[in-house]
Amino acid sequence: MHLSNTNAKILLLDTHQDIEEYADDLVTNILDKRNFDFLTYPPNAGLTAQEIEELRKLGNNEHLKSALRKIIANNSAGVVFNMLNLFDGTSSPKNDHGDWTGLQVVDEEPNDRSEPVGGMLHDKFYETYWDWRKVRGDKNWKLDTYEE
């Protein structure tokens, strides 16, 4: 059994979309809505009154929004990249005490006609950003600095 190229691409494009949408939602909550009751991690997440006071001092302009989106998206992408390295077997968990046996990501319903994913998911993650960029539509902002 294997992971098909089709499923790998769908998974990675969905991940790029989530990274972008989560970053945008977070920035919107902080700068536009001034809603600071959005944290879900860790499970007892929350901001102190002093932290909220400092966040309220932030301005609200397109350059700040863009910078914050990029910083948040970069952090999310780093976590995803590291997780994909674990899936690919190119790294081991930091807290492995000799119990890690690896894992596999495979198609739930194998199709003999499907082409196996070529290469490593962690490499394809950054490669598929440009595929995502093509299908995301025009939002009047973007995470990258590429000018078409």
Q: Which residues, including other chains, have CB under 8 Å from residue 146's CB and lie 6 or more apart?
A: 133
Contact between 143 and 20 under an 8 Å Cβ cutoff? The reply is: yes
Residue 16 lies in a domain: yes
Task: At 143, list the tokens.
Answer: 């995470």
Domain membership of residue 60 (yes or no) is yes
pLDDT band at 40 (very low <50, low <70, confident <90, very high): confident
80 and 121 Cβ atoms separated by less than 8 Å: no
pLDDT at residue 148 tops 80: no
What is the structure's pLDDT at 6? 93
Residue ranges making up the domain that contains 16: 5-135
Domain membership of residue 19 (yes or no) is: yes
Residue 1's pLDDT band, with cuts at 50, 70 and 90, is low
- Asked if residue 142 is part of any domain, the answer here is no
Identify the band that residue 90 occupies on the pLDDT scale cut at 50, 70 and 90. Answer: very high
Report if residue 73 sits inside a domain: yes
Residue 144: inside a domain: no
147 within a domain of the structure (yes/no): no
Residue 121 belongs to some domain of the structure: yes
Number of compact structural domains in the chain: 1
